[in-house]
Amino acid sequence: GATIGILGGGQLGRMLSVAAARLGLRTHIFEPGAAPPAADVAHQLTTASYDDADALTAFGKSVDVITYEFENIPTSALDLLETLAPIRPGRQALATSQDRLTEKDFLQSLGLQTAPYADITDMGSLTSALDKIGTPAILKTRRMGYDGKGQARINGRDAAADALAAMGGAPAILEGFVPFSHEVSVIGARGADGAVACYDPGENVHADGILRTTTVPAKLNSGQRTDAVLIAAKILNALDYVGVMGVELFVTPQALIVNEIAPRVHNSGHWTQNGCTICQFEQHIRAVAGWPLGDGSRHADVVMENLIGSDMDRVPQLAGTDAAIHLYGKTDVKPGRKMGHVNRIIKAG
């Protein structure tokens, strides 16, 4: 069978490797960090830096297609790798989602709604952006932010200077605060043949900037549910995308506002492992391997709960319940670290 190269050996790379193995495919993980969660399930592991051209070349030559579990891969590494094997999802999806400013411009160009936003380079641009957008607002680094890191809330003008200092000189964007009632996400997939399939939207609850639970079905009326799926399909088609994508949406009475997109399998799609015949990991592997997409219809109501840091202490108790337990094999427990998740079937469909 074919070999799928995966950039990144975290839990997403791990679960992609398990799905690939079930389809009779091999995976080769490239990961700079030592002892990554995917190591014990991948067929092959390369531990090397993204600056190591020899290691990247050997990796690229050993695989049939390259995919990734995170979006912040250095451009120089991608330039080299794309000469050796196709990268799916493609460069346009990566370039668009690596930078919050590029991402918002792209979403606006499709006629989709986002929070009001402005490019921030210094105190002058922040002051004029606050004149236009008002408060409350959120200042975010343009690149590399995740789990709410690299963000500072600006509740009033007097908080502006501290928020800018918190960016540490990194390029940033200011976003107006969206008064949403709740957050949902669509996990969408597009095959190499252009077919699109979206999972039923899930409703996301965050705590301290980290995803806590995803519940399906989300609280949406039928118009909103259709809108959510159409938004995801529009983004997938515009990027000529191949693979699974996460699209985060804010729900307001007037409209669905696109928060951000992730060009990969997504934490808010973990419920599909126990709520669908074909989960997001298998769907992604199918797409990047050039297989037809599978049936992603939902057969149950599910609550996915992340196990973060000391939540691991609850595993013995959870093992005595009906919850499906997914652990990532991480040995050191740290506050805020995603250690695993559980899926609870609320009602069989």
Residues in contact with ligand ATP by CB under 6 A are 115, 138, 145-149, 175, 177-178, 183, 206, 209, 248, 259-260
Q: Which residue type, as a one-letter code, is found at position 192?
A: A
256 or 323, CB closer to Mg ion? 256
The least CB distance from residue 146 to ligand ATP, in Å, is 4
Binding mask 244-263 for Mg ion (x = CB under 5 A): ----x-----------x---
The least CB distance from residue 143 to Mg ion, in Å, is 11
Residue 199 annotated in ligand binding? no
Q: Which residue type, as a one-letter code, is found at position 220?
A: L
Of ligand ATP, Mg ion, none, which one does residue 22 interact with (CB within 5 to 8 Å by kind)? none
Residue 132 annotated in ligand binding? no
Q: What residue ranges in the chain does DSSP mark as E strands?
A: 3-7, 26-30, 44-46, 65-68, 117-120, 137-141, 151-154, 172-176, 182-190, 196-198, 202-207, 210-216, 243-251, 256-262, 300-308, 324-327, 338-348
Q: Which residue type, as a one-letter code, is found at position 331?
A: T
Residue 149 annotated in ligand binding? yes
Q: Which stretch binds Mg ion (CB under 5 A): 103-111, 173-181, 190-198, 240-248?
A: 240-248
What's phi and psi for 140, nearest 5 deg?
Answer: -130, 140
Q: How far apart are the C-alpha atoms of 198 and 44, rounded to whole Å?
A: 31
105 or 260, CB closer to Mg ion? 260
Identify the bridge partners of residue 176 per DSSP, sorted by sequence position: 137
Q: How far apart are the C-alpha atoms of 174 and 120, rounded to whole Å?
A: 7
46 or 213, CB closer to Mg ion? 213
62 or 151, CB closer to ligand ATP? 151
* Residue 161 and residue 123 in contact, taking contact as beta carbons nearer than 8 Å: yes
Q: Which residues bind Mg ion (CB under 5 A)?
A: 248, 260
Binding residues for ATP: 100, 140, 145-151, 175-178, 183, 206, 259-260
